[in-house]
Amino acid sequence: MEKRIKSIMRKKRIWIVALLLLAICLFSYYQNNALTISSYTIKSTKLSEKIRVVQLSDLHSKEFGKNQHKLIEKVRAIQPDFIVFTGDLVDSKKYDGLVSLSLMEQLVKIAPTYFVTGNHEAWSAEYPTLEQDLITSGVQVLRNRGDIIQV
């Protein structure tokens, strides 16, 4: 009888560990693939009007729907005055310049778009070409410089 109880307890522990691992895997997948919007209100006496800024970061060459449709629709719905992309548009290990460039080409049609490099761009041997393509597409690439944005 004691052997049977130990066997049941061992199976129970295995199931608990398996369920925990599954939960961790599902959570990690969601964290890396879900589009979430965080909204913040910042007040300043330097601003006379309300402005909307969309800040994107760390997409790592990821595609959200065919031709970035899901992401573009979320950005468009916010109706931003300008868009800033703060690094890691591409992934240095899974580099996909076409997916990344397609996104940026669509963003500039919504609002003026600014880009700063992240560590994955710096590590990528392909970045000089992407940077030139971004500039050609109308993206303001801020590398070692700043800009004053008129709204």
Angle at CA 125, nearest 5°, toward 119 and 127?
65
User: Is the pLDDT assigned to residue 101 strictly greater than 90?
Assistant: no
Separation of alpha carbons 151 and 144, rounded Å: 23
**Which CATH number is 53-141 given?**
3.60.21.40
List, as one string, the DSSP characters of 61-113.
Answer: T---SGGGHHHHHHHHHH--SEEEEES-SS-SSS--HHHHHHHHHHHHHHS-E
Q: Write down the domain spans for the chain.
A: 1-34, 53-141
pTM metric for this prediction: 0.77
Separation of alpha carbons 104 and 91, rounded Å: 15
User: Is the pLDDT assigned to residue 123 strictly greater than 80?
Assistant: no
55 SS3 class:
strand
Pairing of strands 113-116, 53-56: unpaired
Return the pLDDT at 109. Answer: 96
pLDDT digits (tens, 9 = 90+) for 1-44: 677 777 778 888 888 888 888 888 888 777 677 778 888 888 88
- Which residues fall within 8 angstroms of residue 88, CB to CB, at 6 or more apart? 57, 58, 59, 60, 118, 119, 120, 121
For the chain, how are helix, strand and coil distributed in percent, rounded to 5?
50, 10, 40
Separation of alpha carbons 105 and 126, rounded Å: 18
